[in-house]
Structure formats: structure tokens, C-alpha cells
Structure 1
Amino acid sequence: MVLSSSTNPVPTVPLAPMPPTPNVQPHHRLPHDRHKYHSNGSLAQHKAHWVVRDFSQQASVDYDKSLYGLKQAPGAWNQRFTSYISSMGFTVSKSDASLFVYKDRDRVAYLLLYVDDIILMASSRELVQLITARLHSEFTMTDLGDLHHFLGISMMRDSSWLFLSQHQYAVDLLQRAGMSECHLTATPVDARNKLSATTGAPLADPSEYRSLAGALQFLTLTRPALAYAVQQVCLFMHDRRKPHLTLIKCILRYIKGSLSAGLHQGTGPIGQLNAYSNADWVACPDTRRSTSGFCVFLSDNLVSWFSKRQTTVSCSSAKAEYRAVAHVVAECYWLRQLLQELHVSVPLGTIVYCDNVSAVYMTTNPVHHRRTKHIEIDIHFIHEKVALGQVRVLHVPSAHQFTDIMTNGLPIQLFSDFRTSLCIRDPSATTAGGY
């Protein structure tokens, strides 16, 4: 269920005469992008903030420092909420500061807090009602019912699946970009070209580029197949040029043709953590750095994905691939810690699939030589996990390495096949029976 909370109702403040020697702070009205929605997806309430440039204020002159010792209310609200929820028996997650976990014998509850919005899940309806009543007794809250929309993401579900979609967000983004009636494309990025930071003329108005690139980043929450293309767009935020804007428009044309697509999650017993890692060696034409990518599955469900340019240049493809393996092993370690805090057992070790034979060999070979001296920290980290039986790194043929979608532009047919492997579906496919 979803709750919207605040510490106190906010009354209308009457205007008052200005004092003789005021210290006037610049301010403006800022529309808020986090609207409130009804369970059917219709708009319930617009949100806006009156924003003051608080960095120019002085303690005891422009604000009362005695209010929690803070200039800004969100920090004080978070402290108060955390203190109260802890008194109810919840513990704060070490893996995610916005997650609170309750465990009392066979009764389990999870609470996610985002500013003043709450998602509450529990092992029984009675426990949900009990926790909600306790929260209502302390805070002014609105019960929005079962979870259907949250932060621009819509949820459809039944007893065997959950479908996450950002359909309306994508429609609004196309309207904002003036591309609601654009032509369609089958892939979000050209498989033949690599963008350079120096090619093409600079954009006269870079603000549109920054706005669209930021909006596309949010869309990757339910669109893993966009991760590589959006990562490429964000590399050039500092020096935006016409070919970079062309890529953004290509992504938007792909989105126009796949508006209904979303992330499918099935239900069932918790199985093994499986991961796929890949690297595109010296992919950047300007820095010669490689691009890393990974996908992590819990049972058959995609739970984490990643596409990013590596921070240093790799002297060989094996080193680039090994760095990618180190990234995904670290992610799996964090996921295991999170699952442990959620009281979810994953008894089997993690299997990481990599299509580079040399990188697979280095994970089990304890001998350090000239090929590995530049990645020694990664070598030690992975060897420790392998020795403890927590991780196994196995070879996978390149034809089945669908993490290529996180590191390269792909031909249409290959992109379509790999996209399906990432649990991306249309609602009709989900309601018809999933996979």
C-alpha cells in the first residue's frame, strides 16, 4: 500500500507588513515533478514548492537555528520519522537508508520512504493495518490504497507476476520533446558508429539536451535496453554537439515505437543469483576507455543492470573484461547483503557468466604475473569470493552473452532477441502468461 505523509498540516499564512530593515532573499515558485495520482492513474494533485535561496541565509538572522539545528526541514523530518519507526521495532537497512525492516517471528514488514511518500509491504493484511494505525497516530497521513503508481512508475500485478511500466512518463517526454508524431526506429542506437566528443557543431541551446538526457535516465528504471544508449548520451553533457542530440532523437523514436514495453517480474521460490558481465574494449574513440555492462538475475527476474565507461584505460581486452567481472561481483555482494536484511535466504553461490576465456581463467588462477599486475586489487577481491565458494565465474558463448546490449549498439534482430532476455515485455504478453 502507499501512504503520503507530513508532520503537520500546512496552514495558509496571512501576509504581514515588511519590517523596516528586511534581509530579502531571492525566491521563486518551482513546479514539482512528483504529482499525486489516484489508484486508476488519474491526476489527484499537483505539487509545487516556494523556493528560497537558502545558501545565502545566515543562522539566527534569516532562520531560527533552534529548529532541529537544521536549515532545511527534510532532514529534520527524516530524523523524526526514523526515530519513531525504530521505536515500533523496525530496523534501518545498512544496504539502503530508505528501507526499514520489521521482523517478529513469522511476521515481516518492509517500509520504503521517499521524502514524504511511503510504500508499506507486510506478510499479512492485519500487520499492514496495525502499522498504518500506529503511523496515523503520530503523523498526518493519507492512505492511497494498494500500490498502482509511484514516482511515475505504474504497477500491474496478479498472483503470478508484476509488471512495471513508465508508459505515461514516456508519452509526456515525447510531448515535451515535440516528437509525439515522430517516425519510429527499431533500436535506440546505431550499431555502426561511436560518438566522439569533438565531432559536429556545438548546440546553440544546450538546456534542451540536458533536460532530455536527465529525463531519459529516469526512464531506464523500467527500460534496461535503453541503458547503453542513455549512458552514451550522458557522456557528453559537458560539451553537447549536434550528433549527440541526434542520438537523443533516435532514442525517442525508439521509445515512440515501444511505449507499452515494461519490466516483467515473475513470482515463485527464491532461486540463485546469476549474473552476466561484458566489456567493449577501448570503446571510447576519445579516451580509449572500455565500456562495462552487467545484468543480475534473481531466479528468472532481472533485478539489477549497469552500463558505464570504465574509469581507466585497459591494456588488453582480458583486463577490461575482468574489471567488468569485478563490478558485477561487487553488485552481487551488495544484493546478497540486502536480501539477508530482508530475511530472504539464497543458499547457493552466485554464478557469473563472461565470454572472455582469459578473464575466466584469471578468476581461478592464483599466480600473479605481468598480465594481471595492473588489476591486482580486482584479482584479490574476486579470488576471495571464489575461494569462499560465494562466486563461480563461467564462460558463456558470445552468441548467448545478452549483456552485449549494455555495451554496444546491436543489429535489429540481435537487439530484439537480447531485449526479451532482459524480461522486457508488453502488457499483453504479461497478462497472457508471462514468458
Structure 2
Amino acid sequence: MCSANFSDSFKVFLANVTAFTEPRSFKDAMEFDVWRKAMGFEITALEDSGTWDLVDLPPGKRAIGCKWVFKLKFNSDGTVERHKARLVALGNRQEEGVDYDETFAPVIKMTTVRTFLNVAASRNWALHQMDVHNAFLHGTLDEEVYMKPPPGFLSSGSTKVCRLKKSLYGLKQVPRCWFGTLQTALLDYGFRQSTSDYSLFSLVRGDSEIYVLVYVDDLLFGGNDTALLSAFKSYLSSQFHMKDLGTPRYFLGIEMARNAEGFFLCQRKYCLDIISEAGLLGCRPTDIPLAPNHRLAHSVDAPYDNPYQYRRIVGKLIYLTLTHPELSYSVHILSQFMQKPTVAHWNAALKVLRYLKGTPGQGILYKAGTDLVLTGYCDADYNACPLTRRSLTGFVFFLDGSPISWKTKKQDTVSLSTAEVEYRSMSWTHKLWFQFYFSRCVEYKIMDYVSLRVETDLLIDTNLANACVITYISP
């Protein structure tokens, strides 16, 4: 994809995001003064907020470890906003019932993110992105948790450990603590929480409206009233230590560009990182991600000598499908061989990366000034799995021509005919879920889609399956 259509500021942003690298270990970070200062700032912030007390480890107790995670934060113009060092507790060493109890905390669904951006582009809403500084530190721990001192900030001969009084990144229960704190703040301001996606909040005052999407400590929000948006930003800053990132350019690893035509989403940096990790930056691109009639399920090749690398690449490809619907089928196939991949499976994964080499900047465009008509397509592949004889279902939903939801999945049962396969495919594509989602949004004014047709179009290429549906719903 050519970058000539991008604005100069977005070109600078892409260049900076691609060029800068982040340390992967404490040893690497200690070689740079900016990262040493970042770690010092993090420790100071933790101590000022009273996150822990240095105590002797009580008999019978066990202290979990911790590590440093380093991340670059960018401004909307592409410049480096700050070098961030995060101290993370090794929550994988915690024991249920001893160190933690409840852990679940909701995050925004990607379908909701894409739908929100589509509506924002259609209605020309102003969008803002904010980040909560040390968000997890706002929660208070009820459990007794001990942690080893941070690397590099306590003498090697000391036997002291940190008794955690407040939540810390990495602990299993802290996302729940933080979400409860943020939820209370939003509800107190007058927001209403969606029942179809608990990380979507709405505020409607007369003709003014604001919608907030929450993903842990990243907030994406927008609306049709700039004064109300400014007041809301001031309220957030009074409740938490906020960082105003301006116009959204980089949200959850997704690059966002906006102009008069609408929103464009892609994962160019993430895609290039995957290709670079596999050593394929100089490879020849291919036109398709997976060969037809691949027969990977019947592979008799030797086992791949580095299954961890295969799992890591496929795991990254799964996240890449957030903006690459055309990879849904290929990733579905590759993810079935995570336990014992063979050389053929690895070569198939490399073919997907070679396809990405030719399309690193491919993404999704949400157009401005659209009518927001929801249309769904579904299809099925009879007896697609040669091992279980189960068929395959795929669906995609478009909101005025732009994809917002898609998936490829095996059917739960074995079908006996192609008509049965197609009929099951239609029932599985969540048409009723979408109708419930949008009708509930209109009913509770979570998102008032004025021009959205209630009767969603669901299209399939089999007349017999269509006839079965018509017969079933006819009075």
C-alpha cells in the first residue's frame, strides 16, 4: 500500500513508531540513561502513593517476583511523549485463595471499537484518547501479598521484601480493582453502562452525547459536543492522573488515520515486527496467504524443531486479524496445530508472512457521511475438517460497506448435507445478537443509530438454506 495519501504528520508518526526500539530486559535498559530515569520515576511514583512497605518476610509466607517492562509512548504528531518503565509483579506465582480471589474484569470488544469508529466517522464526531497514569495503583488490596524488591533498587545483601498495600500491575486481581474504581467514577458523573458490552459507557444530555470505550487504562471517547467533551476530560483529570494523548493515532497496537474521507485502521508496525522476527523482511511477497487444498491436517512431515516459535508467530497473527479479515481462515487453520507443528505447518505460517510482506499497510476504511446500513454475509464449507468431518462456517458483517465483525469457526456437530451446513451457518452468524445489540442500544440510548435499519440483511449463496429460513419464519 502506498503511503502517499497519508498526511505529513501521520507519515512522521509511522516513521517514529517503526524506527524506535524498546528494551526487552532490565540489563538492556540499564545501558540507556533515559530508561534508567524512567525506572527511577516509576519507583518514586510507587513510593509516593504508598504502594508497599518494606518488611521482613513472615514465616510460612512466600514472596512473588517482579520484572520491568519498557514501552515508548507517542504523541499524536509522532514525537516521543515519554519513555515508560513499568514495574510488573509476577502474578503467575500467586495461589488462588491465598493471594487472590475474584479476578475477572471486562475490556472493550473489538467489534464495539470498530462499530464506534464507523459511527464516529459517519457523524463526524470529535474523538479523544487518554491514558491513566499508573491506573492499577488506584485499587486497594484486601489480600496479604508479598513481593521481592524491584531489580536494581535494593542492596543485594538486604532480606527485606515489599508488603503490598495497593494493587500493582501483574497481580491477578488488580484489573478488577481498577475497573471497579473507574466504573464508579463514570457512573457518578452520569454515564450509563451498556449491557451488551460492559466496557462501553454513554452520557446523553439533551442533544449532546458522549461514548467512552475502556480497555484497562486506555480510554477512547468521542461525541457531538466539544464543550461537554472538555468538561469530561477535566473531570477525569480531577479523579486520576491522566495523560491526554490528543487525537487517536495509536490505540491497542492499531494505527488510526483520519481525513475527510473517514477513518483508516491498520497494524503496519505490528505486521512489520512479525515479519522481522521471522527474518523475512527481504523475502519475495506472495499473492495469497494460504494455498488452496493445502491438506495440512494430513501432514506427515517431521516435527518442527522450534514449536515455541510457531506458537508465537501464530499468536501474533491472531491479533493481526483485528484489521485483516482476509486472514481469518488462514489463522483458523494454523491455530489447530499449536501442540505439535510440523515443518509443513511452519512453511504454511511463513507463506502467510510472505503475503503480509506485500500488504503491511492494508487495513479498514470507515467512510464519512454514510447511512449505517447493517449487512451480513455467511458461507460454509461442507466436511472441511478431514479428521472430524465437521464443516466450517464463516461470516462477516458490514456497516455501510465497512467490515465490523467477522469470524471463521468449525461447526459444533457433523452435518449430513450441504443444505444443513448452510442452515447452521446462518443460525450461527449472530444475526439475532446484532439485532439485540442495536435495538438495546436504541432503547437505552447507548448509541442512537437514527438511520440504522432494524431489519438486518443476512445473505447466503444457497437457495435451499434460504428456503428453510423463510419457511421457518413464515406465519
Q: Same fold (TM over 0.5)?
A: yes
Instruction: Give me the whole-angstrom Cα distance separating, in 1, the residues matched to 2:58 and 2:185.
Output: 42
Pick aligned residue for 2:461 from 336, 345, 355: 355
Kindly indicate whether the alpha-carbon contact (under 8 Å) linking 1:296 and 1:332 is maintained by their aligned counterparts in 2. no
> How far 1:235 sits from its partner (Å)?
1.6
Instruction: Give me the whole-angstrom Cα distance separating, in 2, the residues matched to 1:203 and 1:105.
Output: 61
Aligned counterparts, 1:142-291, within 5 A: 142-196=243-297, 199-291=300-392
| 2:448 paired with 1:343 | yes
Instruction: Give me the whole-angstrom Cα distance separating, in 1, the residues matched to 2:46 and 2:94.
Output: 20
| 2:435 paired with 1:333 | yes
> 2:94 aligns to what?
54
> How far 1:351 sits from its partner (Å)?
1.3
> 2:47 aligns to what?
11
Pick aligned residue for 1:37 from 74, 96, 99: 74
Instruction: Give me the whole-angstrom Cα distance separating, in 1, the residues matched to 2:437 and 2:96.
Output: 41
Match of 1:166, as an amino acid? Q
Range that drifts further, 315-324 or 188-197:
188-197
> 1:427 aligns to what?
none
Uncovered stretches (5+) of structure 2, i.e. residues with no partner: 1-41, 100-142, 147-162
Match of 1:38, as an amino acid? N
> How far 1:18 sits from its partner (Å)?
3.9
Kindly indicate whether the alpha-carbon contact (under 8 Å) linking 1:98 and 1:112 is maintained by their aligned counterparts in 2. yes
Kindly indicate whether the alpha-carbon contact (under 8 Å) linking 2:52 and 2:166 is maintained by their aligned counterparts in 1. no
Kindly indicate whether the alpha-carbon contact (under 8 Å) linking 2:299 and 2:344 is maintained by their aligned counterparts in 1. no
> How far 1:56 sits from its partner (Å)?
6.5
Instruction: Give me the whole-angstrom Cα distance separating, in 2, the residues matched to 1:22 and 1:102.
Output: 50
Q: Deviations over 1:149-198 (max 9, x none)?
A: 11111111113311001111111111112211122100001013232065
163 and 344 in structure 1: CA distance in 2 versus 1, 3 angstrom threshold? same
> How far 1:238 sits from its partner (Å)?
2.7
Q: Deviations over 1:258-310 (max 9, x none)?
A: 11211111122434211111001101111111111111111222211111121
Instruction: Give me the whole-angstrom Cα distance separating, in 2, the residues matched to 1:51 and 1:57.
Output: 18
Instruction: Give me the whole-angstrom Cα distance separating, in 2, the residues matched to 1:242 and 1:334.
Output: 45
Q: Deviations over 1:318-373 (max 9, x none)?
A: 1111111112224533542465331113234111111111101100114xxxxxxx
TM-score (norm 1): 0.76
Pick aligned residue for 1:101 from 168, 180, 202: 202
Kindly indicate whether the alpha-carbon contact (under 8 Å) linking 2:194 and 2:202 is maintained by their aligned counterparts in 1. yes
> How far 1:237 sits from its partner (Å)?
1.7
> How far 1:30 sits from its partner (Å)?
5.6
348 and 58 in structure 1: CA distance in 2 versus 1, 3 angstrom threshold? closer
> 1:87 aligns to what?
188
Match of 1:270, as an amino acid? D
Instruction: Give me the whole-angstrom Cα distance separating, in 2, the residues matched to 1:246 and 1:331.
Output: 38
284 and 226 in structure 1: CA distance in 2 versus 1, 3 angstrom threshold? same
3-state SS of paired residue (2:296):
coil
Uncovered stretches (5+) of structure 1, i.e. residues with no partner: 1-5, 367-382, 388-435
| 2:404 paired with 1:293 | no
Kindly indicate whether the alpha-carbon contact (under 8 Å) linking 1:197 and 1:236 is maintained by their aligned counterparts in 2. no
Instruction: Give me the whole-angstrom Cα distance separating, in 2, the residues matched to 1:95 and 1:348.
Output: 17
> How far 1:22 sits from its partner (Å)?
7.0
3-state SS of paired residue (2:185):
helix
Match of 2:67, as an amino acid? R
62 and 46 in structure 1: CA distance in 2 versus 1, 3 angstrom threshold? closer
> How far 1:199 sits from its partner (Å)?
3.2
Kindly indicate whether the alpha-carbon contact (under 8 Å) linking 1:9 and 1:140 is maintained by their aligned counterparts in 2. no
Instruction: Give me the whole-angstrom Cα distance separating, in 2, the residues matched to 1:259 and 1:199.
Output: 32
3-state SS of paired residue (2:297):
coil
Q: Deviations over 1:60-106 (max 9, x none)?
A: 653689979x9722211111110110011111111111111111111
Instruction: Give me the whole-angstrom Cα distance separating, in 2, the residues matched to 1:184 and 1:165.
Output: 19
156 and 22 in structure 1: CA distance in 2 versus 1, 3 angstrom threshold? same
Instruction: Give me the whole-angstrom Cα distance separating, in 2, the residues matched to 1:36 and 1:96.
Output: 28
Kindly indicate whether the alpha-carbon contact (under 8 Å) linking 1:217 and 1:230 is maintained by their aligned counterparts in 2. yes
120 and 10 in structure 1: CA distance in 2 versus 1, 3 angstrom threshold? farther
Instruction: Give me the whole-angstrom Cα distance separating, in 2, the residues matched to 1:19 and 1:304.
Output: 50
> 1:403 aligns to what?
none
Instruction: Give me the whole-angstrom Cα distance separating, in 1, the residues matched to 2:223 and 2:279.
Output: 43
Instruction: Give me the whole-angstrom Cα distance separating, in 1, the residues matched to 2:229 and 2:94.
Output: 38
Match of 2:438, as an amino acid? R
Instruction: Give me the whole-angstrom Cα distance separating, in 2, the residues matched to 1:106 and 1:56.
Output: 48
184 and 347 in structure 1: CA distance in 2 versus 1, 3 angstrom threshold? closer
Kindly indicate whether the alpha-carbon contact (under 8 Å) linking 1:195 and 1:285 is maintained by their aligned counterparts in 2. no
Kindly indicate whether the alpha-carbon contact (under 8 Å) linking 1:289 and 1:312 is maintained by their aligned counterparts in 2. yes
Instruction: Give me the whole-angstrom Cα distance separating, in 2, the residues matched to 1:97 and 1:9.
Output: 30
Q: Deviations over 1:101-157 (max 9, x none)?
A: 111111110101111111111212211101001111111111111111111111111
Kindly indicate whether the alpha-carbon contact (under 8 Å) linking 1:36 and 1:47 is maintained by their aligned counterparts in 2. no
236 and 365 in structure 1: CA distance in 2 versus 1, 3 angstrom threshold? same
